[in-house]
Each structure stands twice: as C-alpha cells, then as structure tokens.
DNA sequence: TGCTGGATTTGGAACGATCCAAAAGCTACG
DNA sequence: CGTAGCTTTTGGATCGTTCCAAATCCAGCA
C-alpha cells in the first residue's frame, strides 16, 4: 500500500518548488500559465489528492460543520438533516451528520469526536436525559453552537435555541377540531413532563380551558406503534372522545391505522390532527390534517443563521420561534353534525 | 477569540515536556501516576481539546469512515446509515454521513471532500446516472471502498459489491400471490432499465412465465406518490389485475392508500406485496406483506466486512448477496376464492 | 559512595500543507 | 550594458501532534 503523494512529489515531478504547487492549489493568479499547466499535469499523473487536514493545521478552520441529531430515523429529523447539509454544501461547507439515538452518553462521545476532528461549528438537536457532559464540552470549545428543536441546555445566550411555535400550532389544531364539532378532544402521545410535550399540549389545554371542555391525555412514546395502541385504549376507556390532537404525525398515523383496524373510520365523527406534516401525511388515506412545520425552510434558516455567526461573527438571537401552519385535510373534517 | 490550547500549553502548565503530555494522551502505562494526574489537571484547567487533525498528520489513519447515500430521506437507507454508524462507533470509528440526493455531480463532490478529509474507508450506495467521476476518484484513492445496495461501477474487484437477493425475493412474492389465488399480477414501481428494478422484476417475470400468466408492469419513481397514482391507473386501465408485486414498500403503501381512496379495500380480491419491510409495513392498515430485507443486519455485516478489510487487509468477496424473507401479512391474503 | 539497570522523561525530527520575505527572472529604459 | 521595477518562484519557518533515540532519575547493591 503506497502512501499517497504530497505536494513535494508533485513539485519534484513538475520541476518546481513545493511553494509553487501550493500557489497553484490555491488558484493564485501570480503563477505563469505554463507553470500552472505543468503542475496540473504532474498532479494528474501522480493521482495527487489534497490533504485538507494538513492544510488546516495552520489555518485552523476546516469548513466542517457538525450536526448531532437525537433520532435520525424520524423522517422529520432526516428532512432537517438533509436540507441543512445541502444548504451548507452550497456554501462550501461539509457537514458531518451523526445520530445520538437518544443516548446522552453516545451524544457526548459524538460531540467530543466532532470537536476533535475540528468542526468549526455545531448544530445539535439534543437527546433527552442528562446532557450536561455534552454541553460542558460544547461550552469549553468556544465554537458557534445552535440548539434546534429541543432545548437541551437553558443557557441560550451560549447556545442560541430555535424551534417552532408549537403552542400556536396546537391552539389552531384544537380550535379547528372544535369548529368541526368535536367536544371531547384528547391529546395523544408525547412523554409527559418533557418540554416539547408541554409546549404542544399547552395550546390544546388553553383552548379547552377557555371553552370549558374536558381534558383527556394519553402519553407515551411518539411512535406509530404507540398511536396504534392508543386507538384501542381510547375506544375502550374513553368512548366519548371524538377528536384527538396528536403529539406528532407518527402517532396520528398509528391512531388512524388503529381505528381502521377496528373497522372504524376517521374523519367523520372522529377528527385527528397530527403535528409536523411529514410527507406521508398527505399521501396516506385519509390524508392527515397536520400542523405543518416547514422543516426544510427551518433548516435553511438555521444554516444561514449559523453561517452569519461563523463568517461575520454575528451571533443569532438567543431564542427564535418559526411560525407553523395548520394544513387541513380529510382526517379532521366533521360532517356538520 | 483566543486560540485553543495545545499540548505545549498543557506541558508548560504541568511543568513537564510536550512528549510526556503526548504519552498521557495515549494512555501510556509508562508515565508515573503523579505526573499523569498533574497533566490531567492542567488539561482540565486549560480546557484543552485534542487536535485529531494534527495527530493524524503523522499517522495517516484517522479512524473516519465515509458513507455516501443516494437518498437519505428513504427510511430504508436511513436505517442502513444509522445502524452502520452505530456499529462502527462501537469499534471506535467515526462515520461521516452524506446524502447525494441522487445527483452524480454532488456525489462526486462529496466523495472528493471525504477523501480530502482523510477518511480511511468509504461505503457508497451510488446515485443513478454517470458515476464515472466518482469512481475514478475512488479508484485513485486506493482506499477500501464498499458498494452497497446498488452497483454503480462494474469493477467489483476494486469495489466489492453487496446487496440482497432480490430475485429470490420477488420469486417468493409472486408465488405467494398465485397461491392466494391471484392470476393477473402486476409489477408496480421502479424506473425501467435500472439494475435493481430488473433484479426485482426478474423473479416476478420468471414465475409468471413458468405459470403462463400475463404480465403488466407500471414503472415510475419509487415513491408513495407514484403508488397512489398507480392505483388509479391500474383500476382504470387494467381492471383485471388482482395482485401486485411492488418495487418497494413506499410504492406499495401508496398503492394501498390509492385503493382505500377509491373505496376499494386491499387484501381480499387484490393482494399487494411490498419490498424492504420497512417499519411502517407492519403498522399501517392493512399490514403490508413485504419481502423483508434485514437492513440492520445487512448494515452490521457491511460494517464488519469493512473493518476486516481496513484492519486485517482482508478484502471481501467481489459480490455478496444477503438472503431475504417473505413476511406475510394481511395485504396479500386472498379469501380462498 | 559509585555503579547498574529499569523506569521515566525529554528534545528534535517528522507529517503535509500555508505563508512570508527574499531571491531570481524578465522588460524596458536611459 | 546596467539597473529599476515588475512578475514569478523559492526556501524556511510554522501549525499541533507522534515517534524515537537519548538523557535523566532513582532504588538497590557491592
């Protein structure tokens, strides 16, 4: 296994000095076209590959951005990750994506490894649990860090946080179900006590409170499987319930599947609203009403906010909320009962 | 913005030489415990972060594996990516995931950037289209490269390829539908002429040929949206069709949704089989019969194959096929007609 | 006390690029 | 023909580690 050629090898082959090769690499206009061509030729002959690590040794910044995601399998996060990566790529930054799989220990390891590899900024959607190790590391690194979608650390002055306006979303969702005739609206999914669950629940609770309607909440993991089981529990334990605001689309889709399995449709007589508006929401049957979070737009915003910080040193606001939009589809439409 | 401390700073603070600090970093047993403690303390005081790029400058290997995926939004690939990453992480390797988004140009850029960043091996599921730029780069790098799931380059001696035994899968799927009473089995989804489409189709065609049954094939992008529209086309243009082998689960789920939208169920009288057995297949309604590709297991195998190559220099077989398994669920069960 | 040999520690040369000041090559002009 | 004033090229120092051979330490022993 022969080692890969260096600029010295190229220089020797082209009959110039390493400095000249370096100038060619940087596209400097001050090398004579003939020389440039000779160097290019030598590089091609030898199969030279630029060694970025070596180059960055002097000039610190690597043009690498780290992205740590708590659950990359969730399509919502996948969309965020891919859009962020592509937006940064368009600006010449490479992105390292890693999945912490909701494990704070793994998360701390990943963050450590990214910092060691010299990322020049980091975007993190933190895992649940004790993230203090992670954030200690991050604070110490002094890098631009954006927390997104979940607040893992309260120091938003250090780690600016941005997310969606979930409260407004659940207000809109709940009002919509009431307009459609629902009077017993459950909240389904989300682990109790967690910030996002509380945010998404708060609007629902506020609207129900204002309308003096009863509350039923079924909490659990935010998966399709939980939605499926929640459907059974709702039908068995709370037969009066005639609408549901779900923690996310996965739960909502599970719920819809559960009702279908029981031979009971959704839409007329039972309205379901999801959260996130993942691609599948519009393509399942019945199509799912959902609080749309423009995740691609959010990812682009995040990228630009981060770039402003990295490039111009302009730190983002400590806390930002992007607007959400209720997309009404068949799963929540009553029949004017 | 103060620069980050180096081992020299740590050494000065601890009152030892840089070499000693380096030994501590490497956990060498030959430093006296007192000294080790002093160095550790100094590191903590200064908030020292290891600079891996500098370290790797000498010792070539970075412990970094690149993973280039053609479509990270597809849950099938997401599962593969996350499992691979976690398996490699368990062995101390960091993984860089990137999404080429089916764009050969972007793909070549990503691969180039990864090689420059010094990955010590690369796993690629190639984008469709002309990947010659990409594979030139890869061939030149001399790194261990595994092609998975799609063959982007025929030189499997250079780039060992591994995938699933799709032919066997579609044979099983088609036989099963015939056993359930279907006589007009369509193939739905997959772009025509592409290797995977042909592989997945070949088994179907072979079985139909042997049983002297007619062929109908509807090709298109392998998305839920296409499945949805294919349902309409099937009902309008080929009303006699009573079963479908789909290119993948997304298409199958779209197809099921399309039939549901038309008020026509799936299962009795019309059997649907998907491909991939993504998580959702078992949780939608009706649950989807699917050719299960144990993607997590496949990812783990790939990781181990790659590790054997990187660590022991033991190159994998040029071509490997992992077995698949037909998982029978309600969507394909006839009613004994 | 002087020596010996294992345990520790250390200075300096890599690694592969960039950057800078200085050298070398040109032109054109008196 | 010498040289000022460009353009182009070059050597050497540098970035933060690792590695190696050599130096230093120190306890035990004669």
Q: pLDDT tens for residues B217-244? A: 999 998 999 999 999 999 999 999 999 9
**Residues forming a β-bridge with B326:** B291
**What is the reported pLDDT for B140?**
78
d(CA B111, CA B117): 10
Written as one string, the DSSP assignment of A307-334 is: HHHHHH--PPPSEEEE--EEE--GGG--
φ, ψ dihedrals at B160, nearest 5°: -55, 140
Q: Which residue has the higher pLDDT, A155 or B61?
A: A155
Rounded, the Å distance between the CA of B32 and C1' of C1 is 28
The nearest alpha carbon in chain A to B82 belongs to A99
Count Cβ atoms below 10 Å from residue B3 Cβ, excluding itself: 8
φ, ψ dihedrals at B290, nearest 5°: -155, 150
Q: What is the pLDDT of residues B138-151, one digit of tens each?
A: 887 778 999 999 99
Cβ density class B53-71: b for 16+ within 10 Å, e for less? bebbbeeeebbbbbbbbbb
**What is the reported pLDDT for B336?**
39
**What is the reported pLDDT for B114?**
87
Do B209 and B185 contact (CB within 8 A), yes or no?
A: no
Query: Apex CA B333: angle with CA A75 and CA B274, to 5°?
Result: 30
d(CA B306, CA B63): 12
Q: H-type helices in chain B, by residue range?
A: 7-14, 18-25, 33-46, 52-58, 75-90, 104-116, 132-141, 166-179, 195-211, 224-237, 249-261, 279-283, 295-312
Q: What is the pLDDT of residues B302-335, one digit of tens each?
A: 999 999 988 777 889 999 999 999 999 999 987 5
Q: What is the pLDDT of residues B178-204, one digit of tens each?
A: 999 999 999 999 999 888 899 999 999
Instruction: Look at residue B267 and tell me whether its pLDDT is greater than 50.
Output: yes
pTM for the model stands at 0.79
Footprint of strand C on the protein (CB under 7 A): A 3-4, 6-8, 18-19, 22, 25-26, 50-51, 54-55, 57-59; B 16-20, 23, 30-32, 34-35, 54, 57-58
Rounded, the Å distance between the CA of A32 and C1' of D3 is 24
Rg (CA), chain A: 26
CA dihedral defined by B148, B152, B155, B156, rounded to 10 degrees? 10
The single residue listed with the structure tokens 């490479």 is: A94
CA B121 to chain CA centroid, nearest Å: 16
**Please, is A271 exposed, middle or buried when counting C-beta atoms within 10 Å of its C-beta (0-12, 13-18, 19+)?**
buried
- Out of A50, A78, A256, the one facing B78 most closely (by C-beta) is A78
Query: Apex CA A79: angle with CA A303 and CA A128, to 5°?
Result: 85
Residues of A in contact with B310 (CB under 8 A): none
Residues of A in contact with B145 (CB under 8 A): none
pLDDT tens string, chain A, 337 residues long: the values are 556 889 999 999 999 999 999 999 988 888 999 999 999 999 988 888 888 888 888 876 667 899 999 999 888 899 999 999 999 988 888 888 999 999 999 999 899 888 888 888 999 999 988 999 999 888 877 789 999 999 999 999 999 999 999 999 999 999 999 999 999 999 999 999 888 899 999 999 999 999 999 999 999 998 999 999 999 999 999 999 999 999 999 999 999 999 999 988 787 789 999 998 988 899 888 999 999 999 999 999 999 999 998 877 789 999 999 999 999 999 998 753 3
The nearest alpha carbon in chain A to B60 belongs to A3
Could B257 and A113 be called an inter-chain contact, meaning their C-beta atoms sit closer than 8 Å?
no
Could A52 and B89 be called an inter-chain contact, meaning their C-beta atoms sit closer than 8 Å?
no
Average pLDDT, chain B: 91
Could A285 and B261 be called an inter-chain contact, meaning their C-beta atoms sit closer than 8 Å?
yes
Instruction: Look at residue B164 and tell me whether its pLDDT is greater than 70.
Output: yes
d(CA A38, CA A24): 10
Within 7 Å: CB of B59 and strand D?
Answer: yes
Instruction: Look at residue B15 and tell me whether its pLDDT is greater than 50.
Output: yes
Count Cβ atoms below 10 Å from residue B322 Cβ, excluding itself: 15
pLDDT band at B61 (very low <50, low <70, confident <90, very high): low
Say what percent of chain B tops pLDDT 70. Answer: 97
Give the 3-state secondary structure of residue A267. Answer: coil
pLDDT band at B337 (very low <50, low <70, confident <90, very high): very low
Rounded, the Å distance between the CA of A15 and C1' of C28 is 29
């Amino acid at each position: 296994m022969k080692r890969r050629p260096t600029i010295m090898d190229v220089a020797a082959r082209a009959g110039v000095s390493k400095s000249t090769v370096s100038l060619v690499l940087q596209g400097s206009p001050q090398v004579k076209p003939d020389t440039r061509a000779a160097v290019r030729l030598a590089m091609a002959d030898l199969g030279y590959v630029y060694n970025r690590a070596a180059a960055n040794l002097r000039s610190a910044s690597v043009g690498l951005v780290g992205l740590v995601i708590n659950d990359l399998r969730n399509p919502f996060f996948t969309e965020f990750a891919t859009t962020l990566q592509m937006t940064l790529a368009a600006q010449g930054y490479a992105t390292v994506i890693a999945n912490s799989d909701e494990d704070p220990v793994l998360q701390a390891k990943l963050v450590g490894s990214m910092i060691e590899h010299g990322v020049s900024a980091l975007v993190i959607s933190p895992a649940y649990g004790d993230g203090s190790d992670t954030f200690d590391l991050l604070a110490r690194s002094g890098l631009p860090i954006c927390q997104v979608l979940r607040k893992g650390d309260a120091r938003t002055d250090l780690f600016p946080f941005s997310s969606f306006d979930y409260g407004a979303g659940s207000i809109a969702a709940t009002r919509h179900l009431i307009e459609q005739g629902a009077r017993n609206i459950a909240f389904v999914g989300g682990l109790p006590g967690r910030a996002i669950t509380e945010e998404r629940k708060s609007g629902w609770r506020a609207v129900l409170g204002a309308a003096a309607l009863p509350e039923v909440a079924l909490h659990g993991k935010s998966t399709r499987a939980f939605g499926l089981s929640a459907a059974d529990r709702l039908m068995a334990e709370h037969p009066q319930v005639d609408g549901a605001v779900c923690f996310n689309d996965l739960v909502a889709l599970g719920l819809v599947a559960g009702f279908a399995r029981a031979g009971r449709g959704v839409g007329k007589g039972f309205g379901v609203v999801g959260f996130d508006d993942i691609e599948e929401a519009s393509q399942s049957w019945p199509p799912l009403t959902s609080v749309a979070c423009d995740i691609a737009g959010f990812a682009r915003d995040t990228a630009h906010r981060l770039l402003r910080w990295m490039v111009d040193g302009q730190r983002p606001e400590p806390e930002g909320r992007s607007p959400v939009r209720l997309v009404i589809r068949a799963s929540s439409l009553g029949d004017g009962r």
